[in-house]
């Protein structure tokens, strides 16, 4: 029997979660079975335990279950991206497979989405994680991301989020950028909301996150901020740095001339003169880099017929041509 197209897609990335998959499936079913027409997409990110066997049994017993299996571990961002691309529902929910996200929160998040929002992000206000290795770095990262992107959220790291499908269609994910989806979506005009969700302690399996990911978050944040602010005008970045370098170079030159005129200091032996020359060369290099970046941006957008804007909707009247008499 052929299933109807689901209105809701649950995307669950996982890595070595054999002890949690069955329980999570049961909890999702209990939370959604009488409320929505849904599907569950499990993305096996190269698990080396018995997760594949558990998933296969679920697939055989539940028509709502779909499985995407990677050949090796590509990371959570890649797993979510694959799930988003294959999801059939107009509303997409992402959550972790470690049972720390509570599927019972999904209905209230969808209700919030229907209030006119495009993304609803979970806020783990009471986290059951280690303070030094998880909570403290997370608070610092959330403050930094909110400050730099301008999209204020308490908990960017919470995987439990609800999206409208059209928002994700405009968002391409690379590296570790899944945590920045609300910021990327907001820059495209999406409305973002955040609500408190239940967070539970891990009871099985091993956490895949630690302090080692902090530097990746910082580097990805730099990339996201650049893409959000200057992806269509890179000359503003490189040219701005170049002009600043030129300004400092001119200040040094005038200072060298002042020393020569007022005190008779030899210009040829003045290190500031050499530094000003280096800065002027740096100015030329940065401006040329900006121009090259402008050419690359135009090639990127024009080769893919990719616009530099996102349209929400179009209202227009039909135009009827008069027939030739």
Domain with 112 in it: what CATH number?
3.90.550.10
- Per the structure, the count of domains in the chain is 2
The range of the structural domain enclosing residue 57 comes to 8-229
Top mean-pLDDT range of 50-59, 123-132, 145-154: 50-59
Averaged pLDDT for residues 208-215: 60
Same domain assignment for residues 167 and 245:
no
Q: Evaluate if residue 317 carries a pLDDT over 60.
A: no
Question: Encoding tokens for residue 214?
Answer: 């902090």
Q: Evaluate if residue 315 carries a pLDDT over 50.
A: no
Q: Evaluate if residue 71 carries a pLDDT over 70.
A: yes
More confident residue, 4 or 9: 9
Q: Evaluate if residue 262 carries a pLDDT over 60.
A: yes
Same domain assignment for residues 220 and 251:
no
Same domain assignment for residues 39 and 166:
yes
> Distance between CA atoms of 62 and 46, rounded to whole angstroms?
22
More confident residue, 263 or 52: 52
Averaged pLDDT for residues 116-124: 93
Averaged pLDDT for residues 46-55: 91
Residue 92: strand pairing partners: 9, 163
Same domain assignment for residues 260 and 201:
no
More confident residue, 205 or 270: 270
Same domain assignment for residues 201 and 246:
no
Same domain assignment for residues 155 and 294:
no
**Beta strands of the chain (E only): which ranges?**
8-14, 38-44, 65-69, 91-94, 119-123, 161-164, 192-196
Same domain assignment for residues 250 and 281:
yes
Same domain assignment for residues 43 and 89:
yes
Q: Evaluate if residue 164 carries a pLDDT over 90.
A: yes
Question: Cα 324 vs. chain centroid, distance in angstroms?
Answer: 54
**Would residue 309 count as lying in a domain?**
no
Same domain assignment for residues 222 and 241:
no
């Amino acid at each position: 029997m052929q299933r109807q197209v689901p209105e809701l897609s649950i995307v669950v990335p996982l890595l070595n979660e054999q002890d949690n998959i069955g329980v999570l499936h049961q909890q999702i079913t209990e939370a959604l079975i009488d409320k929505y027409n849904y599907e569950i997409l499990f993305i096996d990110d190269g698990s080396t335990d018995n997760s594949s066997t558990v998933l296969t049994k679920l697939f055989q017993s539940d028509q709502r279950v779909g499985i995407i299996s990677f050949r090796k571990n590509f990371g959570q961002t890649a797993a979510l991206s694959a799930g988003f691309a294959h999801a059939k529902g107009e509303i997409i929910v992402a959550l972790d497979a470690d049972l720390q996200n509570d599927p019972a929160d999904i209905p209230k998040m969808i209700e919030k989405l229907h209030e006119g929002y495009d993304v609803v992000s979970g806020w783990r206000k009471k986290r059951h994680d280690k303070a030094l290795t998880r909570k403290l770095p997370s608070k610092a990262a959330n403050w930094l991301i909110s400050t730099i992107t301008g999209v204020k959220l308490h908990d960017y790291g919470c995987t439990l989020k609800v999206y409208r499908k059209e928002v994700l269609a405009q968002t391409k994910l690379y590296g570790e950028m899944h945590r920045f989806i609300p910021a990327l979506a907001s820059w495209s005009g999406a409305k973002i909301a955040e609500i408190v969700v239940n967070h539970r302690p891990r009871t099985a399996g091993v956490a895949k996150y630690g302090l080692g990911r902090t530097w990746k978050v910082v580097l990805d944040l730099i990339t996201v901020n650049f893409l959000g602010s200057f992806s269509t005008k890179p000359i503003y970045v490189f040219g701005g740095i170049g002009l600043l370098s030129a300004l400092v170079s001119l200040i040094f030159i005038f200072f060298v001339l002042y020393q020569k005129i007022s005190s008779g200091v030899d210009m040829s032996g003045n290190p500031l003169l050499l530094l000003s020359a280096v800065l002027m060369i740096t100015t030329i290099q940065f401006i040329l880099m900006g121009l090259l970046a402008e050419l690359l941006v135009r090639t990127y957008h024009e080769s893919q017929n990719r616009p530099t804007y996102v349209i929400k909707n179009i209202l227009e009247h039909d135009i009827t041509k008069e027939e030739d008499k």
